[in-house]
Amino acid sequence: MKIFWRILLIIFVVVLVLGGIYFLITKSKRQPLVFKTETPVISDIIQKTVATGTVTPRKEIAIKPQVSGIVEALYVEPGEHVKKGDLIAKVKIIPDMVALNAAESRLNKAKLQLEDAKLVYDRQKKVYEQGVIPEAEFQTVRIEYNSALEEVEAAENNLQLIKDGITKKSGEISNTLIRSTIEGMVLDVPIEVGTSVIQTNTFNEGTTIASVADMGEMIFEGKIDETEVGKIKEGMKLELTIGAIEDQIFDAELEYIAPKGIEENGAVQFEIKAKVKLEEGYFIRAGYSANANIVLDRRDSVMVVSEALVQFEEGKKDSAFVEIETSPQIFEKRYIITGLSDGINIEVVSGLEMNDKIKAGEIDTNAPPQEG
């Protein structure tokens, strides 16, 4: 009985070992390789480069005061449209004490000189009317008197300008009323009523009262890498995409390429500018970020294949080739002449026919079938 169970156990072990060997052999067997194929298609090839930047008004003016003082009133807010000459703000002059003292002293001296000149004039006039002195001598006295009158008036005007920014002759506040120098939209008013402002002069650019821009003419300002700048030129067309305006492409024309580059993060960048063609129904705000696609070259309705299908022989010029299916899953090498590439597809100038089947990726026949 023991012999029976021992024989049965041996048979079981042998069957188990043989089954394992069979499983491993069948598992290690691979199905023959099967490759999928692709055929050429007719399409457009567009070679582009991308420049990043912002959209800004071509003409943006910073309105600055011609006198120093304190802002007494503001007449505009950001977003308002103004015409040339419209009031922006009013500045109250805070006179400089040194200049004020000098102006007052000048006026006092002018009045003293006028009093003296008037006494001489009145005395000489009586003598002249009696015929005692000639007209030439009286004319000199009259000129001195008129000059003293003019000096008093000039001193009074100078004092009034320093104190109030007005003149007695004009009767208008000229340099304390800040006016727009162009027609456009007020982009920014960086000050408040009561802010001290400094006039524009040789040593100081002055305080900006407001920024006014013509929003009817916008430009794209961006930068392009030195590796691409040699491929572009003025007059090229750009396709502009603005991050804040989805699903809309704006046309632009390249106007300017900087002759000098600026190094940024280890790469040399060149500034470019392009005129933006505005579309009805879209308002482009100053400072929108944008990307410009610059079309370097294009081919319309040409034979193209995926660039991943094209292989090259190392060390040989014009060695581009693909593998063509001559019979089911049998491929041969065929050299082709390629043209323009956009990084995904490449133009085939010659060497292929539209019905040629090109060897593509391998199909995994050992993969389990997907459900659904």
Burial of 250 (0-12, 13-18, 19+ CB in 10 A): buried
What's the pLDDT band for 193 if we cut at 50, 70, 90? very high
Q: Is 123 helix (H, G, I), strand (E, B) or coil?
A: helix
At residue 351, φ and ψ (nearest 5 deg) are: 110, -10
- pLDDT for position 118: 84
* pTM confidence score: 0.62
Residues in Cβ contact with 283 at an 8 Å cutoff, skipping those fewer than 6 apart: 215
- Pick the more confident residue, 5 or 102: 102
> pLDDT per residue over 334-359, tens digit each?
888 888 888 888 988 888 888 888 88
> pLDDT per residue over 70-94, tens digit each?
898 999 999 999 999 999 998 887 7
> pLDDT per residue over 271-327, tens digit each?
999 999 998 888 999 999 999 988 888 888 899 998 888 888 876 767 888 888 888
What's the pLDDT band for 138 if we cut at 50, 70, 90? confident
User: Exposure pattern of 306-320 as b/e (b: 16+ CB <10 Å)?
Assistant: eeebbeeeeeeeeeb
Q: What is the mean pLDDT of residues 215-222?
A: 93
Q: What is the mean pLDDT of residues 243-268?
A: 91
Say if residue 195's pLDDT is above 70: yes
Rounded CA-CA distance 60/285 in Å is 13
- pLDDT for position 86: 92
Say if residue 143's pLDDT is above 70: yes
Q: Angle of helix 97-129 relative to helix 135-164, nearest 10 degrees?
A: 160
Q: What is the mean pLDDT of residues 170-178?
A: 66
At 328, the amino acid letter reads P
User: What would the DSSP string read from start to end of 226-280?
Assistant: HHHHTT--TT-EEEEEETTSTT-EEEEEEEEE-SS-EEETTEEEEEEEEEE---T
| Domains of the chain in sequence order | 34-45+300-363 (2.40.420.20), 49-57+218-298 (2.40.30.170), 63-91+174-213 (2.40.50.100), 97-164 (1.10.287.470)
Residues in Cβ contact with 47 at an 8 Å cutoff, skipping those fewer than 6 apart: 295, 296, 297, 298, 340, 341, 342
Q: Is 316 helix (H, G, I), strand (E, B) or coil?
A: coil
Block residue for tokens 């009133």: 73
- pLDDT for position 152: 83
> pLDDT per residue over 10-53, tens digit each?
777 777 777 777 666 665 655 567 778 888 989 988 888 888 99
The closest alpha carbon to 339, from 287, 304, 312, belongs to 304
What's the pLDDT band for 372 if we cut at 50, 70, 90? very low
Mean pLDDT rounded to a whole number for the chain: 83
- Pick the more confident residue, 210 or 351: 210
Block residue for tokens 């194929």: 37
